[in-house]
Amino acid sequence: MVRGRISRLSVRDVRFPTSLGGHGADAMHTDPDYSAAYVVIETDAEDGIKGCGITFTLGKGTEVDWSRKGRGAPGDSGRPKRGVGLVGQAGGKACLEVTCGHEKQMLAQGYPAYTTSCAWLGYSDDTLKQLCAQALKDGWTRFKVKVGADLQDDMRRCQIIRDMIGPEKTLMMDANQRWDVPEAVEWMSKLAKFKPLWIEEPTSPDDILGHATISKALVPLGIGIATGEQCHNRVIFKQLLQAKALQFLQIDSCRLGSVNENLSVLLMAKKFEIPVCPHAGGVGLCELVQHLIIFDYISVSASLENRVCEYVDHLHEHFKYPVMIQRASYMPPKDPGYSTEMKEESVKKHQYPDGEVWKKLLPAQEN
């Protein structure tokens, strides 16, 4: 039975001035403004059901998205379109029926997470220390630090974090594609003293054999390779897995086109016995990926061994159904849909360039 037909589609350029506080800064993106092309599909159904979707960008990429839409051309802004998921009371009130021990464990304990929020490259040492101390107070035991721009700076910052969190807590590193292959091996050989669990995106994301070479060199040092947030289809993941180029697989709920493409990658990871540790953060990525990790645990992997999902404590307040974090873990969402719906007041306020926020900021930036 058809519940309704599409009656209206809107696309809005929503940008958050994260660069003002150094949030999101890494070795490749020094001053990003986390942004999204926010799509809403309305229907003529009696219950008003609608679909909401997000293309996450760093600001300028949203304009690329829009220009391609205007030409009727496919393409991406550095992140392909995510499938638009229906939200609202689709099929009645949401209900999670507990049928097995895995579901009970997820409801009680959640899915383990790690934090990237305290160690962006744009933060001063004082800010890093302050945020790291707060994260420890909040119960976080897994931390990721951005590296790759300057080796001596990386050594200093990693020493600060390792001293604060101690030897027993987990540290990850993320170079955001900054290095070539020999440089990645040399750089991480020097950072190995800080005992990182992994180095994330050490080189170009589509260099399968390069990742394999780095993996072969670093695994004996106890450092795994994590990558996948920039991989846009299951074929690249298949090649990474076949080449033994990674020890931790990072799906991205916006990068891969649709839920179905993500599910095929989860199944391949299960076949190759590689843990899935999704990339998140950005605009709404945590809200989206929570559904995928819980499905992976309950229906595919049935394991939490070496599995953890990224969490960034930014911009959740702009979503109608924000992600829930308790005890450094993702708690299962209780609302129906894919958690993509943004608050209308937030969209209006941050719409570019005519929203209240940008009407104030743009003249100041020009001056």
pLDDT above 50: residue 124: yes
Average of per-residue pLDDT across 256-280: 94
User: Cα–Cα distance between 281 and 287 in angstroms, integer?
Assistant: 9
In the CATH scheme, what is the code of domain 99-331? 3.20.20.120
pLDDT tens-digit readout, 298-346:
999 999 999 999 999 989 999 999 999 999 999 999 888 899 999 999 9
Asked about 146 being catalytic, the answer comes back as: yes
pLDDT tens-digit readout, 78-102:
343 343 443 333 333 333 444 567 7
User: Cα–Cα distance between 204 and 215 in angstroms, integer?
Assistant: 14
Which DSSP letter does residue 351 get?
B
Question: Which pLDDT value is given to residue 364?
Answer: 77
Least confident of 15-29, 103-117, 205-219: 15-29
Mean pLDDT for the chain overall = 87
Residue 353: asked if its preceding bond is cis (omega within 30°), the reply is yes
Give the containing element (helix H, strand E) for 225: strand 224-227
DSSP per-residue string spanning 2-25: ----EEEEEEEEEE--GGGGTTT-
User: Cα–Cα distance between 300 and 310 in angstroms, integer?
Assistant: 19
Contact (CB, 8 A) for 352 and 13: yes
Q: Characterise 354 by phi-psi region: left (phi > 0), alpha (psi -120 to 50), beta (else).
A: alpha
Average of per-residue pLDDT across 127-137: 96
Average of per-residue pLDDT across 130-140: 97
Asked about 350 being catalytic, the answer comes back as: no
pLDDT above 90: residue 277: yes
pLDDT tens-digit readout, 32-77:
888 888 999 999 988 888 889 888 888 776 775 555 444 433 333 3
Annotated active-site residue in 81, 144, 279, 350: 279
Question: Which pLDDT value is given to residue 301?
Answer: 95
pLDDT tens-digit readout, 186-226:
999 999 999 999 999 999 999 999 999 999 999 999 999 99
User: Cα–Cα distance between 140 and 149 in angstroms, integer?
Assistant: 26
Question: Which pLDDT value is given to residue 84?
Answer: 40
User: Could you give the maximum distance between any two Cα atoms of the chain, in Å?
Assistant: 63
* Residue 142 dihedral angles phi and psi, to the nearest 5°: -130, 130
Strand partners for 311: 115
More confident residue, 333 or 21: 333
Annotated active-site residue in 146, 291, 318, 350: 146
Question: Which pLDDT value is given to residue 3?
Answer: 66
User: Cα–Cα distance between 324 and 310 in angstroms, integer?
Assistant: 13
Contact (CB, 8 A) for 282 and 313: no
